[in-house]
Amino acid sequence: MSAIQLSFTLRTSSNVKTVHLLGSWDNYSGQLPLSKDSSKSGGWKGTFRFQGATLQAGQRYWYY
């Protein structure tokens, strides 16, 4: 079974306490937590591995 690994980075106001990523790959039903990036003020990052048919090549996915 193949897997796809994606990394996300985001910059927000420095007073933001938590950040979660929502995406169209699961119809926005799950929340993926991003971690604070201590090297950047207001920076957040996360790397996620999607298994099997969650993501398909050539498709467009949206995230918020």
Entry pTM: 0.80
Average pLDDT over residues 37-46: 95
Task: Please determine, for residue 1, whether its predicted confidence score (pLDDT) is greater than 70.
Answer: no
CA distances from 5 to 40, 47, 48, 54, 55 (A): 23, 7, 6, 11, 10
Task: Please determine, for residue 36, whether its predicted confidence score (pLDDT) is greater than 80.
Answer: yes
Q: pLDDT > 70: what percent of the chain?
A: 98
On whether the CB atoms of residues 9 and 21 are closer than 8 A, the answer is: no
Six token digits for residue 37: 């990036």
Instruction: Give pLDDT, residue 58.
Output: 81
Give the span between the Cα atoms of 18 and 33, in whole angstroms.
8
Instruction: Give pLDDT, residue 57.
Output: 76
Instruction: Give pLDDT, residue 25.
Output: 87
Give phi and psi for 9, each to the nearest 5.
-130, 150
